[in-house]
Amino acid sequence: MKKIIVSLILFSHTLSAQYTDINIIKEVKVRNKGVVVSAHPLASEAGAKVLKMGGNAYDAIISTQYALAVVYPQAGNIGGGGFLVGVKNNGEKFTIDYRETAPKKATHDMYVDKNGKANTDLSQNGRLAVGIPGSVAGFFATLKYCRLPMNQLIQPAIDLAEKGFAITEQEANLLNSHKDHFQKYNQSANVFVKNVPWQTGDILVQKELAETLKLIQKHGLKGFYEGKTAELLVSEMKKGNGIITLEDLKNYKVAERKALEFDYKGNNVVSMPLPSSGGILLAQMLKMAGYENLEKYQQNSTKTVQIMVEAERRAYADRAEYMGDPDFIQDKTSYLISDEYLKNRWKNFSFNKATPSSEVGKIIQQPKESDQTTHISVIDKDGNAAAVTTTLNGLYGSKVVVSGAGFFLNNEMDDFSVKPGVPNMFGAVGGEANSIQPNKRMLSSMTPTIVLKNGKPYMVVGTPGGTTIPTSVYQSIVDIVDFKLNANLSVNSPKFHHQWLPETVAVEKNFPETTIKDLEKLGYKVEKWNQIGRTEMILMDDSGNIHAVADGRGDDSVAVE
Ligand code: DON
């Protein structure tokens, strides 16, 4: 049956001018068509248009990312980095690591003052927080899997930047709430700051960004890493305490890495290896939870949360101790995800009480000194799949806009462990494995993941959310594989998260109260958070039905070829 079924459009609203018809589509069921799920309807549409033009999933992922850099400035980027996990319809698996690197002038203690105090304001805000952007190099590295040329793939983003588009309510609110930061960290005026507050439907035109994209269109990689764009970026650095040089930019290299693969109950999970902790954490958590026959329980029940949180606690303790850039440290992945190691790690699990975090990892100290990322899931009609998570780190990254080039720079340096035991902006601690060294990649949590059944993509999934990323992807897989839930229930049900330190279990505000009460009785400290993650999920069944769901927590939207 070749009929396309487009159904279950949960809500769709339209903003009123150039790119002013913004239809947010949350859920779609189709056959024999490609789909793109991303954080913004115009970006998903840019990807779907490329599929219509004969492009494949990898063409679509490039166009969607460029479009996100325009329509979703809080996280979409050319000034940040990301990871792509791909599975081609011939079974070939690959990953592209376009994570930012530390500048050559970076040093181990660059955020620690002479009294030994870490200054995380410097690793999180302003020019010193910026790692060498990898995104554009990542897009070019993806090209060899594509069918269409870069000059065509970048065009939708140029049009969106040049002609402008209507901003959503969420973007308007965020731009307004960050105005002070934009003014504090930028000397020059930029299009993100207005005298009057932003309102839903206001048109954001980005002429400087359009010019930068045109330079990339005309000169390829050199249009970003050399010439005018690179010079503007370096002169932006010189306006403050930035240390990125022209040489740093010219020397940036992506890394193509072997995907991290493991079996989960007969499914082959394909995810990101180091320098993302995501794949390892996912393998550790699923395997440990697997020792307890999770399928016997229900989503968000007390026993489920106990098992899953205790697996999270043990995995995140390992993250802090052992994980970092594999080009700089000894890569212990195969040991860390082995049953031999994990069964031993699971030995002190008990249903009777919470395991104290001090029993599963070495706590260096617990000082309290003192987001933004986005995921895209794509499948094309030929069965090629791509999962990409890309980030500026915090919302609008370092808040620094490259004057004259019109794009935000990341604050990814904060993902390093700036000092052993000092939490980063997501509360994650680390040690020497993730310490700062020139040219090193900072440890990530991004977990773009493709699950295969009988060798074919069954699930394409990922989310933003800092350290909550691996735990959200973990919940998604358990929901589908163990609890047999549908994609909508998995994506939109309340989530929970634990990361060894702090000892708290975070739950979304609508989490079942009975489970919270039970957990508290067992010694868990539970904290309510507004929201966890923004998951984009595509499920494919054996008979070729595709079910795509964009997270209800944001402007996330599905587009069909
Ligand atoms: O790479 C990482 O793990 C972080 N920079 C991701 C940040 C993030 O997801 C923020 N989004 N909410």
- Kindly report the protein residue whose alpha carbon is nearest to atom 2 of ligand 1: 444
The pLDDT, as a whole number, for residue 22 is: 78
Token pair, residue 72, equals: 């979703």
pLDDT higher than 90, residue 2 = no
Q: How far is the CA of 418 from the centre of ligand 1 (A)?
A: 16
- On whether the CB atoms of residues 269 and 449 are closer than 8 A, the answer is yes
Phi, psi dihedral angles at 405 (to 5 degrees): -115, -15
Does the pLDDT value for residue 479 go beyond 70? yes
Q: Is the peptide bond between 275 and the residue preceding it cis, with omega within 30 degrees of 0?
A: yes
Which of ligand 1's atoms lies nearest the C-alpha of 394? Answer: 10
Q: In order of start, what are the domains of the chain with their CATH numbers?
A: 25-104+253-393+420-561 (3.60.20.40)
Q: Using an 8 Å Cβ cutoff, are 400 and 190 in contact? A: no
32-89 pLDDT per residue, tens: 999 999 999 999 999 999 999 999 999 999 999 999 999 999 999 999 999 999 999 9
- Expressed in angstroms and rounded, the spacing between residue 393 Cα and the centre of ligand 1 is 5
Query: Is 436:423 a contact under the CB 8 Å cutoff?
Result: no
Tokens 């990953």 correspond to what residue?
Answer: 95
373 is catalytic: yes
- Phi and psi, residue 515, nearest 5°: -65, -40
Residues annotated within a binding site for L-glutamate: 99, 391-393, 415, 444-445, 466
Q: Which residues are annotated as a binding site?
A: 99, 391-393, 415, 444-445, 466
d(CA 165, CA 111): 39
Q: In whole angstroms, what is the distance from residue 37 CA to residue 381 CA?
A: 15
d(CA 133, CA 39): 21
State which ligand 1 atom lies nearest to the alpha carbon of 468.
9
497 with 526: CB under 8 angstroms?
A: no
Size of the chain in residues: 561
Catalytic residue among 142, 168, 373, 468: 373
Helix (H) / strand (E) containing 85: strand 81-87
Mean pLDDT, to the nearest integer, of 480-504? 97
Q: Which amino acid is at 282?
A: L
Q: Which atom of ligand 1 is nearest to the CA of 463?
A: 9
Ligand 1 centroid, distance to 108 Cα (angstroms): 22
Q: State residue 103's pLDDT score.
A: 98
Per-chain mean pLDDT for the chain: 94
Task: State how far the Cα of 508 lies from the Cα of 522, in Å rounded to an integer.
Answer: 19
| pLDDT above 90: residue 9 | no
Tell me the β-bridge partners of 165: 19, 204
pTM of the model: 0.96
Closest alpha carbon to 461 in 386, 404, 527, 530: 386
Which residue is closest in CA terms to ligand 1's atom 8? 466
Closest CA to 29 of 481, 384, 487: 487
Where does ligand 1 bind, in terms of residues with CB under 6 Å?
Answer: 371-373, 391, 393, 412, 415, 444-446, 464-466, 469
In one letter, which amino acid is 510?
Answer: N
pLDDT band, residue 371 (cuts 50/70/90): low
Element (H, E) at 417: none
pLDDT of residue 543: 86
Give Dmax over CA atoms of the chain in angstroms. Answer: 70
Distances (CA, A) of 399 to 73, 362, 540: 10, 34, 39
Distance 399 CA to ligand 1 centre (A): 15
**Site of tokens 């003014």:** 183
Residue nearest to atom 1 of ligand 1 (CA): 444
Q: Which atom of ligand 1 is nearest to the CA of 99?
A: 1
- CB neighbourhood size of 83 (10 A): 30
Element at 250 (helix H, strand E): helix 246-251
| Adjacency order of strands within the sheet including 81-87 | 255-257, 93-98, 81-87, 385-391, 373-379, 35-38, 557-560
Phi, psi (5° rounding) for residue 457?
A: -55, 130
Q: What is the pLDDT of residues 175-201, one digit of tens each?
A: 999 999 999 999 999 999 999 999 999
Rounded distance from Cα 3 to ligand 1 centre (Å): 39
Nearest CA to 471 out of 307, 292, 302 is that of 307
- 72, 101, 412, 469, best to mutate for ligand 1 pocket (most atoms within 8 Å of CB): 469
Q: Could you identify the atom of ligand 1 that is nearest to the CA of residue 445?
A: 3
Residue of 170, 391, 411 best suited for mutating to test ligand 1, as the one with most atoms within 8 Å of CB: 391
Identity of the amino acid at 211: E
CB-based contact 36:384 (threshold 8 Å): no
**Cα 133 to ligand 1 centre (Å):** 15
